Amino acid sequence: MSFDSIIGQPLAVDLCRTWLKRQTTHPLLFYGPEGVGKKTLALVTAKMLNCSAKTANPCGSCIACRKIVSGIHPDVRVIDRVWQAAERKEPLEKQQNLRIETIQTERHRLLQSPVEGAWKVSILDDAHRLTADAANVLLKILEEPPSQTAIFLLTPYRDRLFATIVSRCQPVRFRSLADDEMIQCLNRLEVPAEMQASLSEMALGSPGRALHLSREEQIETVREAENIWQALGRDSPAQVLHETGGRFNNTRPNRTEIEQQIQALLVPAARALRSGDRDAVRPVRLIQSALTQLRQNVQPALVYDNLLLQLARGRS
C-alpha cells in the first residue's frame, strides 16, 4: 500500500499529502461510495506518519509499515463492528451500532502516549453507525485532539453523521471509479480477465464491491436480483412476491442475508439510472431507504417484502 496504489482518487490523495506536510491533528472525514479506497488511503497515511523512511511514500518494509499492514501496530487501530464484536466477545450480527463503550475505550487510548510509534492513529470505519452517546464522547476528542494524534472518520453516508461531528473534521470526498480505472484495479487485484467486464458493470465503480461480488455465492445473489428486477417491470405486485418467494421462500434468513439481497438490487437499479432511465430514480431511493431501515433495526423480512411491493407498484 502506497499513495501510488490508490487508483481514481487524486484529489483525496493530494489532500492527505497536504495534511501530512502541515503536521496537523485536524481530524479527517473520508466520505463516498463503499469500496473505493477510503480505508486503504487512511492506512497509507497512517504508515506515512510512522514509517522510519523519510520518503514520498511509506517504505512498506520497516517494522512500523509491516505491523500496520498486518493490523498489529499498537498505535494504529481500525475501529469497526468487527473490532467491537471481538472486544465485547459478541456475535458480529449484534453489532448494529458503534457504542459509547467502544468510543470511550478508544478515547482513553488516544489520550495516552504512543507505545512505539511517532503518531497514534484511530480509523473509525462506518462512522454513521455511532450512537448519539458515542458521538458525544467522540466529539470531545475531535474538538481538541492530543498532539501527534490522527483521527480518520470513514463513511459512505456523510448526511447520517451528526452535524457537530462533521463540523470538526476536514471533509475528503471519494468518488466512484470510471470503467478504465475499474479494470486497472481488477487487474491489480488479480481478478481473472474473463470476469472483469461483468464485475465492473455490477460493481458500479467500486473495486471493493467487485471483489466481494467475485465470490461464487455473491454472483448468484446478483443473478437473482437481476431476475427480480425483470419481474418488477413485468408482473403484478402479488406475482412478484409469489415468484420471488416473498420472504426467501418462508425461510428465516438473518439480517445480513437480507441486506445482501437488497444491496444486490441496487446493481440493476443503478445501472438503469446511469443509462439515463429517469424512472429508475424512485427505485434507487426506495432501495437506499430500505437499507437505512435495516440499520435502524426494523424487522428485516418486513423491510424486504415492503420494498418488493413498492418497487413492483412503481414499475408495473
Question: What percent of the chain lies above the pLDDT cut of 70?
Answer: 93
Residues 9 and 151 placed together within one structural domain of the fold: yes
Domain annotation covers residue 311:
yes
Mean pLDDT by 10 residues, the chain (316 residues): 90 95 94 93 96 88 94 95 91 88 95 92 95 95 94 94 94 93 89 81 82 71 81 75 57 73 82 81 88 78 86 73
For the stretch 155-197, pLDDT in tens is 999 998 999 999 999 999 999 999 899 999 988 888 888 778 8
Burial of 103 (0-12, 13-18, 19+ CB in 10 A): buried
Range of the domain at 302: 215-315
**Digit-coded pLDDT (tens) for 214-246:** 776 666 777 788 888 888 777 777 777 666 654
Rounded Cα distance, 214 and 220, in Å: 10
Which three three-digit cell numbers place residue 76? 494504529
* Co-location of 149 and 236 in the same domain: no
Residues 62 and 141 in one domain: yes
Q: 25: closest CA among 122, 161, 108?
A: 122
Q: Go through the chain and tell me how many residues it has.
A: 316
Any domain includes 199: no
Domain count, the chain: 2
For residue 165, the domain's CATH number is: 3.40.50.300
Does residue 226 sit in the same domain as residue 164?
no
